[in-house]
Chain A
């Protein structure tokens, strides 16, 4: 009886969810954080439910199964397709039907597995070593003395020169692709001395060449009041013309989401909630459930009152962040980046003082007296300020524009202008230079403030390949 009572009480707890974010799942998982019935957790050890949001490309399947086995019992998996068709490699995962709210499904599965009415998911992988014993070196582990080597495939620390000319233990690790705060899918081969990253080399982009059609890819990034699929597709890949108001609303929501990520990383959940709420309200339609893919095809109808309210709310959030200096200790002077490294990446470059914005050359924007906003510091705080300022500016532009106004063919998307794939891969390629020498916390702050999105990069590359 006691166990049963405990189980019933546990079943009503907020559902701890560890999210594996696939194609089209990023914004959806962000919005999930707004529901108090769910808690998106940072470690699989803290979760009951493993949620797969969107389409997981093949190269991530093995990692997904590995994360699955890290959840403590009782546990279960839920797949939130978001329009994808290729199921994740998790047997017995419950699929969220198109007409169901994901939160309801999560709560049901959680209650069932916690009370024992549903069996806890079994382990998928064998507990075995990645490789055999190396059998070299003084102690057989393949290194020197008692250090180094990769016994059973696990690298041991080995002394190496540090950046100050000293010799310190250096540990080689592979992190990702589902480590929270790393962009979904990013795998980094890092060399750590203490908590300082001496090296951080990305291991490719698993989203490149993904086979799933990803019909809602754009929707999850842009939201309900944004344009229909074809427009969304063009906005994402950086190609116009698209409705100007829709593009600007997309930019506002995108920037608010990116700000929320940075706030969450630094433990400012309440402020992140405010940011996500504004973004969600901009997308809100009353007729379709908030997490239904159908919602994404709702007609664009930017209402003036709603825009004014959002503008007011963003201004309040901005004032609060400025006056409280809540992010100062976390972001000021952190992640300063050479503008050359982020040139071609819209808001990142403008936050580093690059006075370049494709909207300046667009007659539709010139008619609205558009001016380029820049910040000179180029650090993580400047990127927050840049996003806040651009979010407000975008709402003003969306409110002032005629709903029928279209942009030029070259557009300034939320992440930047149309650019060739070589540049899209450029930021990923520059990561080692950006992260090397930073302490772990600063590296995560830098990464989140860059708002790197491998799925977007892959999509841009796909689009360029088709176009050429």
Chain B
């Protein structure tokens, strides 16, 4: 299918929105979901203002340094993670026939950027020259290969019915109303696990978790910490958008414009990821390893097999 590339200026606006507006939406949604689970009053007004207040505080705060850090890589890590989020988002169509760069090998590019994101997370911890972030960085990298395998199998399975690696073509292959959510029922749950893993959110937060006093972020403060928070939010939205495109039919839907459907579906997946963060405790590292290799990876093979058999029928 033919997908038009956006005007560079419009693409820049979307990229900027992903880095600034998307994390804000993530923060507000997370606060509201957390309050709902806790049984607290929602106070939407304060929830809307809260992320702005926190951001202002971080902007007023000093970015502390540690003893002999790799300062360049420490500064680069949030920038790289954010840039990779935007780069990966570029291959996802935001509306019918519209994407920043819906290249023919979209899911391959997405996977490559995902792998680099893992490097950025590692550098964020390693470059501080501090024990707790360092442990978090190594712990995350040790488990990240499992996410990569899972991610690739699930995306390739979704590409089989489309007979294309282009994300726009995968969305178009669901135009008949049969979303991949239905014909590959294992795909979306597995993708959600990949999302939680690579964006280290909720039950799979092994990079910035409390047991390591914030993990790779334990030494971060001020604007540098704000940049990391923004990049994390952007990456979560990117993965949710990919999930919406590949498993929920992307822009397709009645009455509303395609871009609105895409936005709504992305927000639903963001909410599911955030909800899981409040409902499921962070998994023990060993258990995560076992689940990934013994249970989820075989399920990803099965997902691939289902997609293959489905395409032959």
Question: Which residues of A pack against B, CB within 8 Å?
Answer: 6-7, 9-10, 12-14, 16, 36, 42-43, 45-46, 48, 70, 72-74, 114, 171, 173, 179-181, 192, 194-195, 263-271, 273-274, 277, 324-327, 329-331, 333-334, 439-442, 444-445
A7 CB contacts on chain B under 8 angstroms: 56, 60
Q: Is the CB of A267 within 8 A of B277?
A: yes
With beta carbons under 8 angstroms apart, the residue of B50, B59, B220 that contacts A10 is B59
B12 at the interface (CB under 8 A from A): no
Q: How distant is the Cα of A10 from the Cα of B58 in the complex, in angstroms?
A: 8
Given the interface pairs A70-B64, A181-B210, the reply to whether A45 lies near B218 with Cβ below 8 Å is yes
Which residues 133-177 of B sit at the A interface, judged by CB distance below 8 A?
Answer: 135, 138-139, 142
Q: Is the CB of A10 within 8 A of B57?
A: yes
19 A-B pairs with C-beta separation under 8 A: A36-B46, A42-B218, A43-B214, A43-B217, A45-B218, A72-B222, A180-B210, A194-B139, A195-B138, A264-B210, A267-B202, A267-B203, A268-B278, A269-B34, A277-B39, A324-B280, A325-B280, A330-B283, A440-B135
Surface stretch bound by A, among B107-115, B232-240, B247-255, B284-292:
B284-292
Q: How distant is the Cα of A270 from the Cα of B40 in the complex, in angstroms?
A: 9
B63 at the interface (CB under 8 A from A): yes
B209 CB contacts on chain A under 8 angstroms: 267, 441
Given contacts A173-B131, A441-B282, 8 further A-B contacts (CB under 8 A): A42-B213, A72-B221, A267-B205, A267-B282, A268-B281, A329-B203, A330-B284, A334-B287
Chain B: residues with Cβ within 8 Å of the partner, total of 56
Question: Which residues of B pack against A, CB within 8 Å?
Answer: 34-40, 46, 49-50, 52-54, 56-57, 59-64, 131, 135, 138-139, 142, 202-203, 205-206, 209-214, 217-222, 225, 277-288, 291
Q: Which of B49, B59, B60, B219 has the most chain A CB within a 10 Å cutoff?
A: B60
A264 CB contacts on chain B under 8 angstroms: 210
Given the interface pairs A267-B210, A267-B281, the reply to whether A45 lies near B221 with Cβ below 8 Å is yes
A14 CB contacts on chain B under 8 angstroms: 50, 53-54
B131 CB contacts on chain A under 8 angstroms: 171, 173
B279 CB contacts on chain A under 8 angstroms: 268, 324, 326
| Chain A proximity of B204: nearest CB distance (Å) | 9
* Closest B residue to A110 using CB positions: B57
Q: Is the CB of A270 within 8 A of B38?
A: yes
| Chain A proximity of B120: nearest CB distance (Å) | 20
Given the interface pairs A267-B281, A330-B282, the reply to whether A10 lies near B53 with Cβ below 8 Å is yes
| Chain B proximity of A398: nearest CB distance (Å) | 24
Q: Is the CB of B60 within 8 A of A74?
A: yes
